[in-house]
Structure 1
Amino acid sequence: MIEITADIEAIIKQVILSFVATVNEDGTPNLSPKASLTARNGVLYFADIASPRTILNLKRNPAVEINVVDIFQRRGYRFKGRGLILPPEDDESLTIANWVRATNGLEYPVDHVVKIETSSISPLLSPAHVFARPARSQDEIRSTYYQKYGVKPIGT
């Protein structure tokens, strides 16, 4: 089993928005934003709140890739694997659906919960990490991108 590290979990929680790619019937990619990606007990899940195309694609072809990138840290992770649509009465499905409703409100429908059988995880690093000379610290990179986006961190 591929390990979901504490850093991976932290990035997922901080970023909130991830992007899930599936394969359309004609072989073209389908990219869908998800604010429901979560890691539980070393497993990734997301909820289908408004993603009928994603679910249709997974029923036909379970191949999935997920990207999570913190725009301020300029780093994240790429997950590849298979997306399994859980039965609605499944304990895992109920846990994720209840979490989504507790987080967002009861008006958010959870039509399906998808469990990811992860086959690979790789770090995503922007050129700010790879090519900057001299190398910059994570704090320097974060500060630079706060300025570029015109935002201030909460509590400052």
Structure 2
Amino acid sequence: MELTTEIKQYVNRSVLCWLATVSTENVPNVSPKEVFDYYESDKIIIANISSPQTVENIKRNNNVCVSFIDILVQKGFQIKGKAEIIGKTDSDFEEMEKVLTKMTNGKFPFATITKITIGQIKPIIAPKYFLYPETTEKEQIESAKKAYGIKNEL
């Protein structure tokens, strides 16, 4: 499956993503990730800054789910796929590192990268859009700003 322009835009607008993995004992683990981006046409890459449980789970079971939303619009995507841990000795590491380092300006070192090859994509949409179909994104943004205490800039 390929990432559409819309999905790439949501990746760029999302502050965090959440990566779900599972242990060999079937214990779920969800970890917020701040440094992530799309890569090529069918992959998401995530810097492993401080995620030993995530890395260990992926080594044993590479099925993962990553979700990201624009918190104001309250829309985004859930992506399921197969993850691979890319280390500094892997041929792809340097190119992926350049993509992720742009986001951090080198301030967050990481030894590995999680590369997720996409298998399934599903939109995430706040229930308000279904319950009240007349809801516009502009109205949703204003509602979210109020809920989160975000003041409009002057």
Q: TM-score, normalised by structure 1?
A: 0.89
**How many angstroms apart in 2 are the aligned matches of 1:114 and 1:72?**
27
Q: How many residues are matched?
A: 153
Which segments of 5 or more consecutive residues in structure 2 lack a partner in the other structure?
none
- Residues 18-52 of structure 1, C-alpha deviations (whole Å, 9 max, x = no match): 00000022101001111122112212111111001
C-alpha deviation, 1:102, in angstroms: 3.7
Q: Aligned-residue CA RMSD in angstroms?
A: 1.7
**How many angstroms apart in 2 are the aligned matches of 1:152 and 1:89?**
46
**How many angstroms apart in 2 are the aligned matches of 1:94 and 1:73?**
34
Q: Percent identity?
A: 25
Match of 2:131 in 1: 131
**How many angstroms apart in 1 are the aligned matches of 2:141 and 2:103?**
27
Q: What pairs with 1:1-156 in structure 2 (closer than 5 Å)?
A: 2-42=1-41, 43-133=43-133, 135-152=134-151, 156=154
Structure 2 counterpart SS, 1:106: coil
Which segments of 5 or more consecutive residues in structure 1 lack a partner in the other structure?
none
Q: TM-score, normalised by structure 2?
A: 0.90
Residue identity matched to 1:81: G
